[in-house]
Amino acid sequence: MPHIDLPEGFPGISAGFTYRPETAKPMRALAHVLLHDPNSLTPGERELIAAFVSSGNECHFCQSSHAAAAACHLGDASVVEQVTANFHTAPVSPKLKALLAIAGKVRQDGKLVTKADVAAARKVGATDIEIHDTVLIAAAFSMFNRYVEGLGTWQPRDPEMYARMGQHLASEGYLAPSIKQPLADPVSAS
């Protein structure tokens, strides 16, 4: 049961967004710029950072939906699993590994990021904008995750739902809702 009277049948953050459109709008816009707009980091790489941070924060809804979006972009779900399990041994570029190390620290506390972390990312090709966006993606998911958990939203366990969401997010981005109608029978589905 959510902590407040959220609209029924809307999973995770879609419940908060439907409940309070005034705050949904800038939150959607932020996610869209960070994860979907043109960037020298691919959408797949940025979704991996989002899934990695959400996994570290143990937010099932965010982790599953962004893992599904990353898998769509990358055409490969196993990379996502490897990144969330142990990115050091995952088949991703050295640059992305260095950025994931920074994201993991921001998730805990931004003050943990050192000059050495940033120098290491730069050495393997990261630009200032890429470092900036990595820090802000990790910070933003520290918000999204807390929002979803702090309201006690309904977080379905059905992988099919996340796969459908991931397809929508990967192709359309974040400005328009991926869940437009309440889903059937949230109680038994959860």
Q: Binding residues for another protein, per CB under 8 A?
A: 1, 3-5, 16, 19-20, 22-23, 25-27, 29-30, 33-34, 37, 57-59, 102, 105-107, 109-111, 113, 115, 118, 128-129, 131-133, 135-136, 138-140, 142-152
Cα–Cα distance for residue pair 125/107, rounded to 1 Å: 22
Whether residue 11 contacts residue 19, with contact meaning beta carbons closer than 8 Å, is answered with no
Nearest to another protein of 32, 164 (CB atom): 32
**Shortest distance (Å) from residue 130 CB to another protein:** 10
DSSP-derived letter for residue 175 is S
Nearer to another protein, 136 or 163 (CB): 136
Minimum Å gap between C-beta 153 and another protein is 9
Give 1 or 187: the residue with its C-beta nearer to another protein. Answer: 1
CB 21 within 8 A of CB 33: no
CB 106 → another protein: shortest distance, Å? 4
Cβ 99 to another protein, closest distance in Å?
A: 12
Residue closer to another protein by CB (options 128, 160) is: 128
Give the closest residue to 137 by CA, choosing from 72, 69, 82. Answer: 69
- Give the Cα separation of 145 and 159 in Å (integer): 19
Residue 138 CB, nearest distance to another protein (Å)?
A: 7
The C-alpha atoms of residue 181 and residue 167 are separated, in whole angstroms, by: 17
C-alpha to C-alpha distance for 189 and 146, rounded to whole angstroms: 23
Report the candidate in 1, 2, 18 with the shortest Cα–Cα distance to residue 181: 18
User: Which of residues 151 and 163 has its CB atom nearest to another protein in the complex?
Assistant: 151
Residue 90 neighbours by CB distance under 10 Å: 19
